Amino acid sequence: MNLIEHLPVLQVILPLLSAPFCILMRGHMLAWAIAVVASGAAFAVSLSAASIVADGATLTYAVGGWAAPYGIALEVDAFSALMTMIISGASLLALIAGMASIRQQLPEEKQSLFFAAWLLAMAGLLGISVAADAFNIFVFMEISSLASYVIIAAGPHRKALGAVFKYLAMGTIGATFYLIGVGLIYLMTGTLNLDDIALRVANVSDPHPVLLAAGFITIGLALKAAVFPLHVWMPAAYNYAPHVVSAFIAACATKVSLYVLFRFDFTVFQPNLSGHEFQFGHFMMPLALIGILFGAIVAALAKDLKRLLAWSSVSQIGYIVLGASMTSEAGMTSAIIHMFNHALAKGGGFLIAMGAALYYTTTRFSNLAGLGKEHPWLSGAFVVIGCSLIGVPGTAGFISKWMLVNAALEQGGLGIFIIAVVVFSSLLAVIYVWKVVELFYFEPRPEGASSNAVVVKTPEKLLFMMVVMLVAAANVWFGIFPGEPLALASQAASMLTGGAL
């Protein structure tokens, strides 16, 4: 058995088949260990797949031995490899860092169910990333969505249930819209394999239903990706989720929906529907620009660290969509590299919120003042990650902004306007990051503020600080040496836009 050949399917089934073992375990620590090992294995698989596809190769896999379009095919190329790295990496780091936080927020008897759902969420997202079949994407979307609702609702916050219900209703509408779109495409082409659809959609008897399918798929996935103005479910869900879940989900979940949207639109619709690039670009760009500003403004007004980070995500998702809406290779590269860089920065941000909650019970600003004096390493890491969110040179965030500005310059007069919006929103980002820095360093710890909600054991604390430092260092490392992720991103962008231009 040649393992390399089976990498695409191992990527999914390692975490997927580990999930049932979690609920059979009596001990919650054992379930945690299974989740960590499965995430680590998935991360290792994604790294080895990435090293193979970095030069433009594609790993394909026929599940069940049935060739596409009759069977289901899996495909790993540069874009999917980058996504699988983000997903499994985020899961691994959050699980290792989150030991104490999970103990603080979840009763012991619920933890094995929680870890099973966590693995299912990760396996679902990974399954979407390697799928090359429109319906298979839907199946794994169902797994990942259901499991995400479960882990978001698992926390002690009563408001989490309301937030999840909203997420569930909107997520279901999004998934249903996607399914209606896929149904229309199947009706017109008779196939579900993405490559086969791209071939056959050019010869359909009438483009109207396909255009409707494009509309349904775009709106459905934009809803799941929390693209402005369809973001309303997102801030509350991120805010009230258990801290460890926020760090994992915020790093990867919405990005996977954007991944499907880009893959579908750039490889199926844009090469085959005349004028669709124009429609896609002009539909998405205004939404992206408004989202960038609106998210940043609300984040600047937030009074809670997690709320601030969640609203900042609305703005940052705008950057990704903005890059893609230029429908150029440079724009797409900036979008894809920002998926990676934002995962680093936002995942890191939520890890720090988790740490703050560990020491001071909540993440409300009134309760966090003076963190800098008592926990200098934690607040130091926040400064680094905040810089990456703003896009200060020398951090990962700068690379994506730089690519975005370069891509905008290709757009002529419109580009100047885009750059103005990006600069202005970066200033807003300075405001919201500075608010937290000021709080950490320049305000005294209030009298009688609650602290140390839970006894943090030394090994847990060491692991947590190690992960936080690692993520902060990665934000700097990939700002100075962006080589590998940038190579994957530009490879992915040239594949996606190659068909369209």
**Is the sign of the CA dihedral 205, 206, 211, 213 positive or negative?**
negative
Q: Kindly state the smallest distance separating residue 350's Cβ from another protein, in Å.
A: 21
Tokens of 242: 């258990």
**CB closer to another protein, 81 vs 116:** 116
151: nearest Cα among 10, 299, 19: 19
Q: How far is the CB of 255 from another protein (least distance, A)?
A: 21
The least distance separating another protein from the CB of residue 174, rounded to whole angstroms, comes to: 13
DSSP 500: T
Which one, of 35, 43, 225, lies nearest residue 118 by Cα? 35
Residue carrying the six token digits 């980002």: 429
Integer angstrom CA distances of residue 114 from 22, 27, 92, 100, 478? 9, 13, 15, 15, 32
Q: 336 near 80, Cβ under 8 Å?
A: no
| Between 229 and 446, CB nearer to another protein | 229
| DSSP-derived secondary structure for 334-393 | HHHHHHHHHHHHHHHHHHHHHHHHHHHS--BHHHHTTHHHH-HHHHHHHHHHHHHHHT-T
Nearer to another protein, 54 or 211 (CB): 211
Given the complex with another protein, which of 148 and 312 has the nearer CB atom?
148
The site for another protein (CB under 8 A) is made up of 1, 6, 9, 13, 16-17, 19-21, 23-24, 61-66, 69-72, 109-110, 113-114, 116-117, 120, 123, 127, 135-136, 139-140, 142-143, 146-147, 149-150, 153-154, 161, 180, 184, 186-191, 200, 204-206, 208-209, 211-212, 215
Residue 76 φ then ψ, to 5°: -115, 115
From the CB of 88, what's the least distance to another protein, in Å?
Answer: 18
Query: In whole angstroms, how close is the CB of 411 to another protein at the nearest point?
Result: 30
Residues in the chain: 501
Tell me whether residue 186 or residue 283 sits nearer to another protein (CB atom).
186
Q: Least distance from C-beta 140 to another protein, angstroms?
A: 6
* Distance between CA atoms of residues 104 and 456, nearest Å: 9
Shortest Å distance, C-beta 271 to another protein = 19
Q: What are phi and psi of 328, to 5 degrees?
A: -115, 165
Residue 178 CB, shortest distance to another protein, in Å, is 14
CB nearer to another protein: pick between 22 and 408: 22
Cβ nearer to another protein, comparing 152 with 300: 152
Distance from chain centroid for Cα 498: 25
Query: Which lies closer to another protein via its Cβ, residue 20 or residue 498?
Result: 20
Which element (helix H / strand E) includes 211? Answer: helix 208-224
36-74 as b/e: b if 16+ CB within 10 A: bebbbbbbebbeebbeebeeeeebebebeeeebbeebbb
